[in-house]
Structure 1
Amino acid sequence: MLKLVDTLHALVHAHPTISAWLLAGWLLYLVGLGLWIVMQKREPAATLAWLISLAALPYVGFLVYYVFGPQRIRRQRLRRGRARARMPDAPESASAESRELARLGLATTRLPASTATDVQLLVDGGATYEALLDAIAAAQHHVHLEYYIFEPDRTGTRVRDALIARAQSGVTVRLLVDAVGSARLKHRFLAPLLDAGGEVAWFHPMLSRWRRPWLNMRSHRKIVVVDGTVAFTGGINVTDEEDDRLRSDAYRDLHLRLEGEVVGYLQQVFVEDWIYATGQRPPSLPRVVAEPGPVSTQVLVSGPDAPWEAIHRMHVSAIHAARERVWLATPYFVPGEAAMMALTSAALAGLDVRLLVPRRSDSRLVTFAARSYFDELLAAGARIHEYAPRMLHTKALLCDDEIAIIGSANFDHRSFRLNFEVSMLFRDAGIAAALADILQRDMCDAPRVRVDRHRSFLRARLPEALARLMSPLL
């Protein structure tokens, strides 16, 4: 390598015109790539971060941006079937803020407010997998699954074998997995399911039809729909890492089991993703007519195929609408300006603002970036708890005694802008109380971050400041 550098150096000095051509080429590279990035019309901080980063990578930066850079994905035609009819936003007894959130959810996702007859909050993988396997075993017509991570380990094998059993009984099984998150799934593992008649599809495979790779645009959704009557969604993937019965260090996480008319909207989201990934529309599904239930809820979806950042917008709006408390749990805390402003404004206004994050996440860079925001939150009066026993993977927002948002989306740029995500908005005192109990218990195992904590310059303050510079790209 040193020999090559010396040779190039000598060549440039021997032929001065070469340096001029290299400079001209670099300038053209900057102008061309700069125009490409600027025309994306992204957040200024993110745009500047990309420009500065790639300016330091002559020519190679083009390839980096081509693979990792943000993109707009057009699949609006797949959403034309979403309900246009206006359904009741919320019961008349609901607050004005709740009705406003329902209208905002409809406007940004085109999925109306709905209801559930039964909602179960499932804490950790053990309880979630047992409920999931029970539902699969009872399937009579179809099982639809969409996961970011589906591992070929003990947990993945149990779920696969349950799907094989139903497929052999004539039940339609469709499994949609993200090509990056589930990269360890191989044909050998999936072959028994395919042989039994199951269908498997990959979301955004890296090499496909010579189009620009969508490495950053992942389906982070976790959706299971059984017979159109039972659905699961939340933060838990299919992996031993989330099964607290197998591992003492399994992720601490939260999932949902749902029944009622809201299941139809989760089914619609899955079908849209299946069509997008395969180009094939599934045969007509049996029409399920569900009676309205007592729990007011709404499906929230967002992704790079829609301009409104619906889940991000709903989080910020719910925080602004809060009057007493805002409790947020997230494994990755990298807020944008709007989200940070909402949290600090709530704290400055005297609300009970609490942030629950892992003491150590599975990304040191994200951990440092998250901690770079702590001083501002603490100064505003917020309480920050770092969950110590395990990796906290719960993604939930609780506002006052009525509003709860639970789903797959982290509180960061990646979930709000790059990934395809799904969350559930609840306007229900019972769900809010159940979530409050879970978060309160977790906070007991999460020491509070002190304002006067010791922070070494080299081990804390400097890494946090540097990581924060990368926040728009995380």
Structure 2
Amino acid sequence: MEFDLLHVGPLVALAHVLGVIAACHAILNTRTSQGAIAWAVSLVAMPYLTVVPYLFLGRSKFQGYADARRIENELLRTRAHPQIWDTQASSAGLPTKELGTRLVHSLTRLGGMPFLPGNSVRTLVNGAATFEAIFEAIEGARNYVIVQFFIVRDDALGELLKDALIAKAQQGVRVYFLYDSIGSFDLPHRYVAALRAAGVETHPFATNRRFVNRLQLNFRNHRKIVSVDGERAFVGGHNVGVEYLGSKPPLSPWRDTHIEVRGPAVASIQFVFTEDWHWATQQLPEFAMPAFQPADEGMHCLVVPSGPADKQETCSLFFVEAINAARERIWITTPYLIPDEAVFAALRLAVLRGVDVRILIPCRRDHRVVFAASKLYAYDSLRAGIRIFRYQPGFLHQKVVLIDSAAAAIGSANLDNRSFRLNFEIMVLTVDRGFARDVEAMLLKDFAESLEIDRTEYRNASALRRVLMHVARLFSPIL
């Protein structure tokens, strides 16, 4: 026993010393006070469980990257932004009528892009409709194809995408393929090599351009963008993997939503890709937008890119503004319900204004800690008068916001701190009552297949489960 203690004692002491050192590092370097507290408390109290995760999730040389990325983006937006921003940008008209002058002004300044009129947008419900439309668009490409995903898997769907891109490259079409280096960590080298050998310009996205830091899981590029010939663009929640087609029990059937955008707003979506591509390669992709006739009619769209290098916390503030704009209803669907204080306060105030506030979340989990924390936030939301629904058929992954009867936003951003501050995201806000009705009809079908929960979900949980929920919420700033 004495021999064991001689070995165990120093190890325990070393773990606590490392925990204190890491806690000091977290206090000095974590971007938010809530995140700093979450890391510091867990590192000091439970160093055996948290020191190693901190190396992956907390350790970062981010400031230099943020400065470099911010300067690069500012130069691109000044010198290389789409000409259509100057010729067709609209800050008046329909968006102002439906949302108000102040909101339009704040959102365009927040995202750094203008509202553009003359678009058409349609929803693509679930994976089959989404990838059928994407593959049909790629097959018809004449000049160029842009593809960017957070996760790309080497499975049946990934093979179909690879073959489609190779076929177009061999026809002389320029093909650009960007994938996140950590999100697609298990993408084999042979997959990338086959694309490059066929002439597809293929690059991973990483915060450090010189090498992929496998210890850095933060600051991921969570965007999903496909664009063809500047005429059609696709944005939403789907990645490339058979689970997005509903082929991964027990999460299947997978519920997700993409949109197809046609019109001038495609230029804004492509420019988001341009910024990411330029960071990864230090080159500008070669593509030109087709000529669009100036029009005040059609759908008005605002592309809102966000990321950890922004001057403002763009994603969080976008949700705050969207919620504050609601006068009748604000319906949100998200796989992860871990709002920050600003967003949660905006939701509570909306209830007090008499707004119909609904949040649709999954009933099945894909991350244990996140799901436990979400349960507690759901209980707090119920106490504030927010209606919470759990989608029953399968895992819910869509990211949709419906504002009154006039506007809807669809994209890649979740209602959690990772999307608010740690990931690169994209949302497309469409101001059009016809499109809002389509989104409403889609969500009403989802609500019909959901269970509205009440406070008994929390109260009926065992004491241990409730403790675990509260412990999980301590980590919410870093989830």
- Alignment of structure 1 residues 346-385 onto 2, 5 Å: 346-385=350-389
The residue number in structure 2 matching 1:288 is: 290
In structure 2, the partner of 1:466 is 471
Matching of residue 423 in structure 1 with residue 427 in structure 2: yes
Contact 1:318 1:403 in 2 (8 A): no
Q: State the AA in 2 paired with 1:473.
A: I
Distance 1:273 1:156, change over 3 A: same
Larger helix proportion, structure 1 or 2? 2
State the alpha-carbon separation in 1 of the partners of residues 128 and 94 from structure 2. Answer: 38
Listed one character per residue, the Cα deviations across residues 184-237 of structure 1 (whole Å, up to 9, x for unaligned) are 211222333222211111111889449795321111000011111111111011
Report the CA distance shift for 1:457/1:58 in structure 2 as closer, same or farther (over 3 A): closer
Separation of aligned partners in 2, 1:11 and 1:455: 41
Q: Where does residue 265 of structure 1 map in the other structure?
A: 268
Aligned equivalents of 1:327, 1:431: Cα separation in 2: 15
Residue in 1 that maps onto 2:445? 441
Look up the SS of the partner of 1:81 in the other structure: helix
Which shifted more, 386-395 or 288-297?
288-297
Q: CA 1:57/1:307 → structure 2, altered by over 3 Å: closer, same or farther?
A: farther
Aligned partner of residue 333 in structure 1, secondary structure: coil
CA contact (8 A) 2:360 2:391 kept: yes
Deviation at 1:37, TM superposition (A): 3.4
Question: Displacement, 1:41?
Answer: 6.8
Aligned ranges 1:2-81 → 2 under 5 Å: 3=3, 5-7=5-7, 9=9, 26=17, 30=20, 36-40=25-29, 42-56=31-45, 65-69=54-58, 71-72=62-63, 73-74=66-67, 75-79=69-73, 80-81=75-76
Distance 1:206 1:457 in 2: 45
**CA distance in structure 1 between the aligned counterparts of 2:463 and 2:155, rounded to whole angstroms:** 39
3-state SS of 2:451 partner: coil
Q: What is the Cα deviation at residue 38 of structure 1?
A: 3.6
Structure 1 CA distance, aligned partners of 2:381 and 2:50? 35
Structure 1 residues 262-293: Cα deviation after superposition (integer angstroms, max 9, x where no partner): 111111111110111122333x4234222345
Equivalent in the alignment of 1:15: none
Q: Which has the larger radius of gyration?
A: 1
1:275 corresponds to which residue?
278
Match of 1:343 among 338, 344, 347: 347
Give the Cα separation in 1 of the matches to 2:124 and 2:140. 19
Task: Tell me if structure 2 keeps the 8 A contact 1:330–1:357.
Answer: yes
The more displaced of 438-447 and 109-118 is: 109-118
Q: Which residue of 2 aligns with 1:390?
A: 394
The residue type paired with residue 268 of structure 1 is: F
Select which of 212, 215, 218 maps to 1:216: 218
TM-score between the two structures when normalised by the length of structure 2: 0.88
* C-alpha separation in 2, matches of 1:351 and 1:273: 37
Is there any run of 5+ residues in structure 2 with no aligned partner, and where? none
Shift of residue 102 of structure 1? 2.6
Unaligned runs of 5+ in 1: 13-18
Identity of aligned residues (%): 36
- CA distance, structure 2, for counterparts of residue 77 and residue 171 of structure 1: 32
* 2-structure distance, mates of 1:93, 1:227: 27
Q: TM-score, normalised by structure 1?
A: 0.89
Q: Which residue of 2 aligns with 1:403?
A: 407
Bigger mean CA deviation after superposition, 162-171 or 52-61: 52-61
Contact 1:179 1:205 in 2 (8 A): no
Question: Which segment is superposed worse, 383-392 or 98-107?
Answer: 98-107
Deviation at 1:326, TM superposition (A): 1.1
1:88 and 2:90 matched = yes
Give the corresponding residue for 1:16: none
1:255 aligns with 2:258: yes
Q: For the structure 1 residues 338 and 169, does the alpha-carbon distance in structure 2 shift closer, same or farther, using more than 3 Å as the test?
A: same
The Cα offsets for residues 161-187 of structure 1, whole Å up to 9 and x where unpaired, read as: 111110110001111011121122112
Question: 1:47: how far off?
Answer: 1.4
What amino acid is the match of 1:362?
Answer: D
CA displacement, residues 44-77 of structure 1 (integer Å, 9 cap, x when unaligned):
2221111112234669977754542263423123
For the 8 Å contact 2:234–2:259, the answer to whether it is kept is: yes
Which aligned segments of 4 or more residues in structure 1 are displaced greater than 6 angstroms? 57-63, 245-248
Output the CA distance in 1 between the equivalents of 2:382 and 2:10.
Answer: 56
Code of the aligned partner of 2:262: E
The corresponding residue for 1:188 is 190
Asked if 2 retains the 8 angstrom alpha-carbon contact of 1:297 and 1:426, the reply is: yes
